[in-house]
Structure 1
Amino acid sequence: MPKPDQFQISPLIRLTLLSLYVALVLPLPVLAEVTQTSVPPALLWMGAVLGGTVLYGVLSERVQVDAKGIRVTYPAWVRLFLRRGWALDWSDVKALKPRSTGQGGLVYYFVSQAEDRAYLLPMRVVGFARLVRYVEARTGIDTRDVKPLSQPWMYLILLGFTLLLLGVDGWTLWTANSLG
């Protein structure tokens, strides 16, 4: 029998998405101040911090598996304000169904026997192959065709472009501050 285990979102994915957020949002309050827009920069800073906190909270997802079932959890402050998570006993799993995404990928849902509800299989966790083996061992469902939604190289490319964007942001902010 597999031992209880815990999985979290990949640090590469977390770093990439948080960096992209910073690259897209950080220039806004600075440029609002330099260009003297009608939107107060302080309001943009507050929005940026709030949005970053929400993103960080959502990216703090943890998947826990044990002999009883699978749980997706978040820290207490995230559960209170944003996402509650879910739990499913292995005995309630009827099937693992694939669904196409809008971008042509596949995601998988656990279909519950008791509630006839679907629960998204977390696919961006470190050790995804180990998680899938755990699911197969506990449910008996054939998971040979279950693959991660995106490969690490995709996030490495996105991280590279994000770092390039951060460089452009830095140059833009430096130029804007030196002119104004």
Structure 2
Amino acid sequence: MSNQISSVNSFNISPIIRITLLCLYPALTVPLPFLAQATSAPISPKLLWVGIALGAVFIYGLLSQKVILDEEKIQVTYPSWIPSQLYKGWSLPWNKVAALRMRTTGQGGLVYYLVTPEKDRAYLLPMRIAGFAKMVKIVEQKTGIDTTDIRPLAQPWMYLILFICTMLLWLVDGWTIWTAISLQG
């Protein structure tokens, strides 16, 4: 512990993850109001636009997560404009961390939980942040738990592929919207 890291460290969602997901959301949703109008769907295109806007705020809020590590605790927070009913952050003092447990996800990936001795409570270690390796070093320094084998859940190349697919989807969206508008005229 001779290599002291600054007393407060803040980590945001990785930019490649954030940009990819912020681009994917409109690619999946923006054509819907145009298609609803072109097909005379029973749902109003205006209602769809309202839903899309609310969903965009929801996604933006989710992607605004911040992980703060200081001398006393690790904390996951969201911007103050987000109602706590939507996203609850958490805070865990370093002296309450008893272990780091690995779990397999349904897709075969690995996630890690910070576990407390009290009723075996577990807190998901944020894994999609920029500076993940630095955060893990700080967790090891503060808890004394070996973090040598911990790796991020998703590699950047996975999100790069998703971003490329999203751009292709935007091309299809452009054609879909153009077709839907031309059917109206």
Q: What TM-score, normalized by structure 1, do the two folds share?
A: 0.97
Q: Which residue is equivalent to 1:143?
A: 147
Q: Which residue identity lines up with residue 168 of structure 1 in the other structure? A: V
Identical amino acids, percent of aligned pairs? 56
Q: Which residue is equivalent to 2:138?
A: 134
Q: Distance in 2 between matches of 1:45 and 1:141?
A: 48
- Does 2:16 align with 1:12? yes
Q: Deviations over 1:108-130 (max 9, x none)?
A: 00001235210000000000000
- Does 2:5 align with 1:2? yes
- Does 2:69 align with 1:65? yes
Shift of 1:79: 4.0
- Does 2:36 align with 1:32? yes
Q: Secondary structure at the match of 1:104?
A: coil
Shift of 1:21: 1.0
Q: Deviations over 1:71-130 (max 9, x none)?
A: 000011224341120000110000000000001010000001235210000000000000
Matching residue within 75, 80, 92 for 2:79: 75
Q: Which residue identity lines up with residue 146 of structure 1 in the other structure? A: I
Task: Write out aligned runs for 1:84-103 (5 A).
Answer: 84-103=88-107
Q: Secondary structure at the match of 1:7?
A: strand
Q: Distance in 2 between matches of 1:66 and 1:88?
A: 11
How many residue pairs align between the two structures? 180
- Does 2:45 align with 1:45? no
- Which sits farther off after the overlay, 15-24 or 141-150? 15-24
- Does 2:118 align with 1:114? yes
5+ long unaligned stretches in structure 1: none
5+ long unaligned stretches in structure 2: none
Q: Distance in 2 between matches of 1:45 and 1:72?
A: 31
Note if contact 1:64-1:70 (Cα within 8 Å) is conserved in structure 2: yes
Note if contact 1:58-1:78 (Cα within 8 Å) is conserved in structure 2: no
Q: What TM-score, normalized by structure 2, do the two folds share?
A: 0.94
Note if contact 1:79-1:85 (Cα within 8 Å) is conserved in structure 2: no
Note if contact 1:78-1:84 (Cα within 8 Å) is conserved in structure 2: no
* Structure 1: 4+ residue segments shifted above 4 A: none
